Structure 1
Amino acid sequence: MSGNERKAPGSRAEREKSVDEIYERIYVAILEHRLHPGTKLGEERLADIFGVSRARVREVLARLAHEQIVELVPQRGAYVAKPTIEQARDVFEARRLIEPAVLRRLVDTLTPEKVTRLRQHVELEADARRRGDKRAVIRMSGEFHTLAAELAGNSSLARTMRELCMLTCLIIFLYDAPTAQSCRDDEHQMIIDAVAKRDRGRAEKLMLEHLDHIESSLSLDDGNGEADLEAIFRA
């Protein structure tokens, strides 16, 4: 085996690590509303900020586009997605179908450790609210739903929920849903209490009401397509 062949696996691992890290940085920036719907994600600028090639950035943007988080426009570039009203309704329709199934599976596979994980997450949410950390509140509110899907133990459900939660985050920002109204601070706790009691019916009812509250808080507004990418990622 040549020296180059021995180095190949490490190089590939490093490349994948870099792609994952850049993906996660952009994902969290969108989730925390630091990157707005419609923001252009310039390849050259991002490559400079993250110290990687434009090809690496394109790989990340393609992955985000596959998840409908980013839109790739021919001859124009990549933009943070701006879901339409129709797409927003589709997202909530999908969530109403999927999240009750998530809770049913979670109840069926419930362990004390899973309940503890959920309660710890909600406590972190509450702490962020007490500190007035709006970005953390936004991020953790979305992550609650993703965590529930992960704990349910179905990787396909978890992956789908991650994408739907991100799209919901964009919708909330785009249509100016106030966080305090769109994700009430006691609703996650009530859902966990029902799950802990293995009350599937109540857990599902509470989740559907929770989604209704989020959707009903939406109002039409215009997104802002400009952002200082360097300030966002080098802060």
Structure 2
Amino acid sequence: MTEQAGASTQQIVERVWLSIAERRLRPGVQLKEGQLAAIFDVSRARIRQALAALERDGLVTIIPNRGAFVCQPSVDEARDVFFVRRAVERCIVERLCKSISKVNVTRLRTHVSKERTANAQDSTTDIIKLSGGFHLLLAEVANSDFLFATMRDLIARSSLITAVYRNTNRFNCGPDEHAEIVDAIANGDLSKATGLMEHHLEHVESELDLSEIRDLPHDLRSALA
């Protein structure tokens, strides 16, 4: 089979991400180029492109002379990330309640609509990505480079934490809560918007099982099936 018939870089990224999100590929496991190239029937060059994209998304750590590994957030890091998110997202909500354009309100509501579609289709990858994307979009429309850069890092870490520690039976960083936040922001209701965001982040954190990561097999082919 030629490489053209093999997986694309994006398909490889999505498969690895889904395996992490579904808790089949465990934190700390090494993503060996040779094995991945055989699994996806592509060259090592394409695998390196995919690993670089996964590193940018905060899912993989590439260590010189050692290789690529699935990131391994600790329980303490998970708690720290949500502690910082509360402060940063409150600042974002306060800024948006003071001034947000109708165009940006529409952008937020369109994003929530995409979340509803992902939930209806039970698409784990899209649910997690769009959930984090909503909070990143809030930072974007707040028009602050600093807040956006801070949230981009926090969201990348949160997405991996959610994938690692999510209680698979109860995960639902729901579009309903996001929609309520957007409505409060659109109405300029600071007290309600900040209260809803605080409740929302508490809800998300409560659906994480912040205990020891369960032992999973190291076999890449099984994890990526």
TM-score w.r.t. structure 2 length? Answer: 0.75
1:121 to 111, 114, 117: 111
1:30 aligns with 2:17: yes
Q: 1:116 to 1:90 in 2, by over 3 A?
A: same
- Amino acid corresponding to residue 123 of structure 2 in structure 1: D
The question of whether the paired residues in 2 share the 8 Å contact of 1:91 and 1:164 is answered with yes
- For 2:190 and 2:140, the matched residues in 1 are separated by 18
CA offsets 1:64-107 (integer angstroms, 9 cap, x no match): 37x75433456542212111111111111110111111122223
Q: As a proportion of its length, which structure holds more helix? A: 1
1:163 to 153, 158, 163: 153
Alignment of 1:13-162 (within 5 A): 26=13, 29-30=16-17, 33=21, 36-44=26-34, 51=43, 53=45, 57=49, 60=52, 64=55, 69-73=59-63, 76-162=66-152
Unmatched 5+ residue regions in structure 2? 1-7
TM-score w.r.t. structure 1 length? Answer: 0.72
CA shift, 1:52, in A, is 6.6
SS state of the match for residue 203, structure 1?
helix
- For 1:148 and 1:223, the matched residues in 2 are separated by 36
- Count of paired positions: 210
1:176 aligns with 2:163: no
- For 1:127 and 1:209, the matched residues in 2 are separated by 23
- Amino acid corresponding to residue 227 of structure 1 in structure 2: L
Q: 1:54 to 1:132 in 2, by over 3 A?
A: closer
CA shift, 1:203, in A, is 1.2
Q: 1:145 to 1:28 in 2, by over 3 A?
A: farther
- Amino acid corresponding to residue 64 of structure 1 in structure 2: E
CA shift, 1:178, in A, is 3.4
- For 1:55 and 1:119, the matched residues in 2 are separated by 36
- For 1:198 and 1:150, the matched residues in 2 are separated by 18
After TM superposition, the structure 1 stretch with the greater mean CA deviation from structure 2, 74-83 or 213-222, is: 74-83
CA offsets 1:45-75 (integer angstroms, 9 cap, x no match): 56786757499659937x937x754334565
The two structures, once aligned, show a CA RMSD in angstroms of: 3.5
Q: Identity over aligned residues, as a percent?
A: 34
1:200 to 190, 208, 218: 190
1:222 aligns with 2:210: no
Q: 1:109 to 1:60 in 2, by over 3 A?
A: farther
Q: 1:179 to 1:193 in 2, by over 3 A?
A: farther
Q: Which residue of 1 aligns with 2:3?
A: none
